[in-house]
């Protein structure tokens, strides 16, 4: 809940703490809101945190935590920033493929749906922020 409020309020002073919590990954799904917040902040520093997470957790095919959310958020940031930080993860034989191959049921072709889903969540946060400002 706190990460959603941080995203809606644009409280970038919590960037580093969100990155720490994301990297700590105490279990599945905990970091999705952290990824949304970082994507809404939209800076290279936020992309760096997502890259660090993916670099660590895509190497762990035994864990299904927030890899898809982080990849979706990084894809969004790449588009906004004109960067291509996801390329290294998505190359044939790269970490994304290794992670998806490590467990049946993971979809190697999931990057586009991941980006779309996180994009929808970011749109909710951004719309809530606009709505909150309009009420003031």
Which pLDDT band, with edges at 50, 70 and 90, does 130 fall under? confident
Predicted local confidence at residue 98, as pLDDT: 92
DSSP string, the chain: -HHHHHHHHT-GGGHHHHHHHHHH--STTTTHHHHHHHHHH-SHHHHHHHHHHHHHHTT-TT--SSHHHHHHHHHHHHHHHT--TTHHHHSTTSHHHHHHHTSTT--TTTHHHHHHHHHHHHHHHHHHHHHHHHH-
Res. 4: pLDDT tops 80: yes
Predicted local confidence at residue 91, as pLDDT: 94
Is the model more confident about 39 or about 109?
Answer: 39
Domain boundaries, the chain: 2-135
Predicted local confidence at residue 45, as pLDDT: 98
Predicted local confidence at residue 136, as pLDDT: 57
């Amino acid at each position: 809940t706190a990460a959603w409020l941080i995203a809606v309020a644009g409280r970038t002073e919590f960037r580093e703490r969100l990155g720490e919590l994301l990297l700590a990954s105490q279990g599945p799904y905990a970091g999705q809101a952290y990824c949304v917040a970082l994507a809404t902040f939209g800076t290279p520093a936020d992309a760096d945190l997502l890259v660090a997470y993916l670099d660590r957790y895509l190497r762990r095919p035994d864990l299904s935590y927030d890899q898809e959310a982080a990849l979706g958020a990084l894809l969004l940031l790449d588009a906004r920033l004109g960067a291509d930080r996801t390329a290294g993860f998505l190359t044939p034989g790269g970490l994304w493929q290794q992670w998806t191959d490590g467990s049946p049921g993971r979809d190697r072709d999931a990057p586009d749906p991941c980006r779309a889903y996180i994009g929808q969540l970011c749109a909710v946060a951004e719309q809530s922020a606009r709505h909150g400002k309009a009420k003031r």
